[in-house]
Amino acid sequence: MTSPQRVRLRLSWQHPEFRAILYQIIVVGLVALAAWYLISNTLHNLAMRNIATGFGFLDREAGFAIGESVIAYSPSDTYRRAILVGIVNTLRVSVIGLVFATILGVVIGIARLSSNWLVSRLASCYVEFIRNVPLLLQLLIWYAIVVELLPGTRSALHPLPGVYMSNRGLLIPSIEGPSVLAVAIALGLALLASALIARGQRVAQRTTGKQYRFWPWLAGLCLALPLAGWMLTGQEMHVEVPHRTGFNFEGGWALSPELFALLVGLITYTAGFIAEIVRAGIQAVDRGQWEAAQSLSLPRGRVLRLVILPQALRVIVPPTTSQYLNLIKNSSLAVAIGYPDLVAVVNTTLNQTGQAIEGILIIMGAYMTVSLAVSLLMNWYNKRIALVER
Amino acid sequence: MKIVHIAATAVLSLCLAGIAQAGQTFEAVKKRGFVQCGVSTNLPGFAFTDGKGEWQGIDVDTCRAIAAAMFGDAKKFKVVPLTTQARFTALQSGEVDVLTRNTTQTMSRDTTLGLIGVGVNFYDSQGIMVTKDANVTSAKNLAGATICVLPGTTTELNLTDWFRGLKMSFKPVLLDTVDEIKRAFASGRCDGITMDKSQLALARINYGNADKYVILPEALSKEPLGPMVRQGDEAWFNVVRWSLNALLEAEEYNLTSKNVDEVVKSNTAPHIQRILGTTPGMGKGLGLDDKWAYNIIKQVGNYGEIFDRSLGAASPMKLDRGLNALYNKGGLMYGWPIR
């Protein structure tokens, strides 16, 4: 309204702005109408066929067992709890998978650019093989390897004291007791504090030019804080060694073959794609940047870390976000190898209750929430590293 | 907005007219000219493809019987292989007319899905199979065992109930296909597998060294398997129900696919003549030809014949009739009188 070129909005067809607004209103209206029609039609049809609807079933007893769970669960819990177990299991795979796929992907991506012929060829072969075989097949292969090649429980491999490997999974001694949580939290705090100190040191180095030592801080914090946690919570910690009872092992920490196969499959598969993205990102940085940095006599590793990667990240982050989302969604293939993820649990639920539409809505909602959260996080990171134009 | 509303309502009612089939399945099937049955994807003995690519099995033959009753031609049917997850949705949405899919009849399935069980074409019970060298003689001493099971069936719940009832812990491993389960069991990933006993018997044969495996004696559940239809169409319900009963009646009176033509000519017993349609009147109430039951027997056989070729003496499974013998031979199969 302020600029002189702009004409006052008039309600007439001759006015382009009015037309544009009207078209948009019509489109939104049509979309809303279509949604309303589909929903009401569905509800009507369900009612006509006497099919129960609604989310009331979530509070009924589930009555089925779940193979592995991070949180406490028993068959007498509700469907709500069972689905929560599924969500936590999916998150567990996703988080571990994202971290390791990223590490492996970066390593292989850099290896592809190595000047060593053998290393770069091997990395290329890996990428080509992994990218061109369907993920489901790879998962089944990993699962078959674990289940078929490892011996049964009776003749479990016993490479180290307290460590057992069999086709029931890997068992290692676990640390039990009330102090465990306190120590773990203290360790987390120590790492966080170290990161903050490192940051402070970097800022100080920029202003004063002096280099500060970081490792004494790290070592000191990582020893002192957990020790304090252990002292404060009554020094109750003991190692629990797995031992055989009847059919299975009791005690210790177990990694099931299903989880192992799913993790290895997802990590190796996604790493292949991330490797390509990393390679492309590094090659997108102008050759001159290398030469300029090397003329300052920086060693190759530092050139990569300080000059090349920060610029390459701008190319790397957006496509990597899609790969992250792919990994999360691909984790639903767990159904095929018997890992009780969200989809597996909801499948069972909707079979027992017959509430297919509600079940699918829950799956969609859960994946949407997780994926959008990852997207937001990555977009925020992407903005942070974006080229600041001065 | 009012015009939009009226238009939307008109569109809505048109669509509904297309979908709503309450009470009209019978008419729809008649008009289409063939029956669509939902069957298992691959379940030897119940629904499987033979060497020629033809569908065979007790569930498929039940479908054939319905087609023979409906059209006088047992070939007028199409099978739609369905997973356990998709089966009820496929029936609810009208993708199939009847579910002859190794499906357990339960109260919650009759009361919450908008479907209704019609009868039983196989009485089964769930069992557990273990390896011989596990030295287990009863399912009561499986505390702590790992059991492989198919997801999303009553099997999974019965297994959980069994262990809960005995206050024992166990670990389920859910694998999506029977083949995956068999493989996991063979390689020792699980201590036992659980399915309906008919399936266990078959799995045991498939392993090739049947002596290595033991099916434990306990029955974890009752599994009355039978066809289901949508609620609200009694005419169609009746066709399915009485096709089942015709199979049983035929076996009881020794009417087989081989001798039925003889019997039609020679036998004058009124109950036989009613079934075979020589005395007219029985088909009218069903809305079918009087020869409906004759067509079933002639083209598909009686229940005993079907059982023998799918699961019994003439099949690789060699299952005993057991609960599926006729009531006068110590079983539960009891054909309701066609009169």
If one compares B82 and A356, the residue with the highest pLDDT of the two is: B82
Cα A231 from chain centroid?
A: 34
With CA atoms as reference, report the closest residue to A347 among A331, A364, A360, A328: A360
Alpha carbons within 13 angstroms on the beta-carbon side of residue B146 total: 26
CA distance A294 to B198: 74
pLDDT given for residue A389 in this prediction: 61
CA distance A126 to B174: 31
3-state secondary structure of B289: coil
| CB spacing of B174 vs A340 below 8 angstroms | yes
Residue whose pair of structure tokens reads 């020589």 in the numeric block: B278
> How far is A147 from chain B, CA to nearest CA, in Å?
6
With CA atoms as reference, report the closest residue to A341 among A82, A90, A150: A90
CA distance B269 to B260: 14
Lowest mean pLDDT among A216-225, A323-332, B95-104, B253-262: A216-225
Nearby residues of A20 by Cβ (< 8 Å), 6 or more positions away = none
| CB spacing of A338 vs B20 below 8 angstroms | no
Rg (CA), chain B: 22
> Nearest-CA residue of chain B relative to A355?
B113
| CB spacing of A338 vs B187 below 8 angstroms | no
**Residues A229-241: what's their mean pLDDT?**
74
What percent of chain A has pLDDT above 90? 44
Cβ atoms A378, B133 nearer than 8 A:
no
CA distance B217 to B139: 8
Residue whose pair of structure tokens reads 């027997």 in the numeric block: B297
**How far is the CA of A268 from the CAs of A100, A103, A108, A335, in angstroms?**
9, 11, 11, 19
Helices A309-330, A79-112: crossing angle, 10 deg rounding: 140
Cβ atoms A64, B157 nearer than 8 A:
yes
pLDDT given for residue B18 in this prediction: 41
Q: Give A76's contacts in chain B (Cβ within 8 Å).
A: 164
pLDDT given for residue B1 in this prediction: 44
Signed CA dihedral, A151, B199, A339, B143: sign only: negative
> Across chain A, what does the average pLDDT equal?
87
> Nearest-CA residue of chain A relative to B23?
A49
Q: Give B92's contacts in chain A (Cβ within 8 Å).
A: 49, 51
**B207's tokens:** 């392993």
| CB spacing of A50 vs B8 below 8 angstroms | no
| CB spacing of B189 vs A257 below 8 angstroms | yes
What are the backbone dihedrals phi and psi of residue A250, each rounded to the nearest 5 degrees, phi first? Answer: -115, 150
Cβ atoms B229, B109 nearer than 8 A:
no
The answer, for B112 touching chain A at a CB cutoff of 8 Å, is: yes
Q: Give B212's contacts in chain A (Cβ within 8 Å).
A: none
Q: Give A152's contacts in chain B (Cβ within 8 Å).
A: 188
- Output b/e per residue, A85-117; b: 16+ Cβ within 10 A: bbbbbbbbbbeebbebbbebbbebbbbbeeeee
Interface test with A, best of B99, B115, B189, B228 (most A CBs within 10 A): B189
> How far is A158 from chain B, CA to nearest CA, in Å?
18
Interface test with B, best of A247, A332, A335, A350 (most B CBs within 10 A): A247
Signed CA dihedral, B175, B177, B180, B186: sign only: positive
Q: In angstroms, how far apart are the furthest CA atoms of chain A?
A: 88
> Nearest-CA residue of chain A relative to B130?
A247
Cα B32 from chain centroid?
A: 23
**How far is the CA of A23 from the CAs of A39, A62, A388, B3, B5, in angstroms?**
24, 49, 38, 19, 20
CA distance B142 to B147: 9
CA distance B218 to B202: 18
3-state secondary structure of B263: helix
Nearby residues of B168 by Cβ (< 8 Å), 6 or more positions away = B142, B143, B144
pLDDT tens, residue by residue, A83-109: 999 999 999 999 999 999 999 999 999
pLDDT given for residue A207 in this prediction: 85
pLDDT tens, residue by residue, A31-59: 999 999 999 998 888 887 777 778 888 99
pLDDT given for residue B218 in this prediction: 92
The answer, for B316 touching chain A at a CB cutoff of 8 Å, is: no
Cβ atoms A269, A330 nearer than 8 A:
yes
With CA atoms as reference, report the closest residue to A266 among A115, A23, A101: A101
What percent of chain A has pLDDT above 70? 96
Q: Cβ of A71: how many Cβ atoms within 10 Å? A: 10
pLDDT higher than 90, residue A15: no
Q: Give B230's contacts in chain A (Cβ within 8 Å).
A: 49
pLDDT given for residue B250 in this prediction: 97
> How far is B26 from chain A, CA to nearest CA, in Å?
16
The answer, for B90 touching chain A at a CB cutoff of 8 Å, is: no
> How far is B305 from chain A, CA to nearest CA, in Å?
33
Q: What angle do CA A214, A219, A225 make, to 5 degrees?
A: 120
In the DSSP assignment, the letter for residue B37 is E
Torsion of CA A224, A229, A232, A235, to 10 degrees: -100
Cβ atoms A104, A112 nearer than 8 A:
no
CA distance B296 to B67: 8
With CA atoms as reference, report the closest residue to B114 among A58, A349, A46: A46
pLDDT given for residue A203 in this prediction: 86
The segments of chain B whose pLDDT lies below 50 read 1, 4, 6-22
In the DSSP assignment, the letter for residue B203 is H
pLDDT higher than 80, residue A4: no
With CA atoms as reference, report the closest residue to B121 among B184, B54, B39: B39
Cβ atoms A258, A143 nearer than 8 A:
yes
Signed CA dihedral, B202, B227, B42, A132: sign only: negative
Rg (CA), chain A: 28
> How far is A135 from chain B, CA to nearest CA, in Å?
17
**How far is the CA of A144 from the CAs of A148, A262, A267, in angstroms?**
5, 12, 17
pTM attached to this predicted model: 0.78
CA distance B104 to B88: 12
CA distance B149 to B182: 10
With CA atoms as reference, report the closest residue to B3 among A327, A33, A304, A293: A33
